[in-house]
Amino acid sequence: MKDHAPGITRRDFIRGTAFAALSTTLGMKAAAESPSAAAEEEKFTSTVFIVRDQKALDDLHRVNREAASEMLDKVMCAVAGKEDAKAAWQTFVKPEDTVGLMPTSHLNATHNEITELVREKLTGAGIPAKNIVNAQGRSGVHKTCTVLMPLPNLKAHWLTGFGTVLKNYIQLGGNPPAYHAENSKDLGRIWNMPDVKGKTKVVIVDALRPLFDKGPQVDPQYLWHYNGIIAGTDPIAVEAVCVKIVQAKRNAFKGESWPLSPPPICLEAADKEYHLGCSDLAKIKIVRMGWEEGALV
């Protein structure tokens, strides 16, 4: 089986991704019993879950905290293959863990409401509050964490083409400018560093109001209400789906093909060279939940 997210064993993967989640949350038992459906499922190596709610943001771009909370629980239940939200979070963290939250910290930052809700979900799952730390941009903090939890905002980036999941760990590399060479191809190297590798159990992307050009600096004309949260255990598959969404939005905005620039070559390199997950959309199962209009995938 293809390698998946660092730190996820074969048992964790089977328990926490496509087949368990689909059979539990989407009633796919009948499909699994069909030979043709089973063959269709076998072509997928990773699953990415998208939950959206039209009420997640109001007209002034303010977060509906209740809706966001429900979205987080729903997507985590799907990823973990659990019906109970607390049990879903406990799939990825244990009371003895020190969890390092990794939100986008500036320039089109992760919504504070998402970061704080994740913190609340973790304490509700039995993680002591003192064991939940902000590891983003704080030198060396990640080294003491047993779990790292990426919470990036969905955005394009003028240096890398894309600046969501992979780029979320650039501060952990110790010298961020060094990773911008060759269009940031080697961002995946950071994820295999000894004090990072194996600590990422699940990725949660804030896709409430993404940025589809000119990132990380914010140009309001390139922001839109996607009203979503995207999650999965394979960070590269999650990134691939995020790229697909942003590219589709760019094309729709221009009315023609408008490729990301520079091309996000770090995505394929993370798969082929650093073996962090699957970048091939043909092998990624995308499960959508909630509001369908404008899903773009």
- Note the pLDDT of residue 34: 65
The yes-or-no verdict on residue 145 having pLDDT over 80 is yes
Tell me if 152 sits within 8 A of 165, measured CB to CB: yes
Q: pTM of the full predicted structure?
A: 0.86
Instruction: For residue 211, list its beta bridge partners.
Output: 155, 223
Give residue-wise pLDDT tens across range 54-78. Answer: 999 999 999 999 999 999 999 999 9
Distance separating alpha carbons of residues 84 and 86, to the nearest angstrom: 6
Strand order in the sheet with 284-290: 161-162, 153-157, 203-211, 228-232, 46-52, 284-290
- Note the pLDDT of residue 283: 98
The yes-or-no verdict on residue 25 having pLDDT over 50 is no
Mean pLDDT score, 35-61: 90
- Note the pLDDT of residue 177: 79
What residue type is 256 in one-letter code?
Answer: E
Instruction: Count the neighbouring beta carbons within 10 Å of the beta carbon of residue 156.
Output: 26
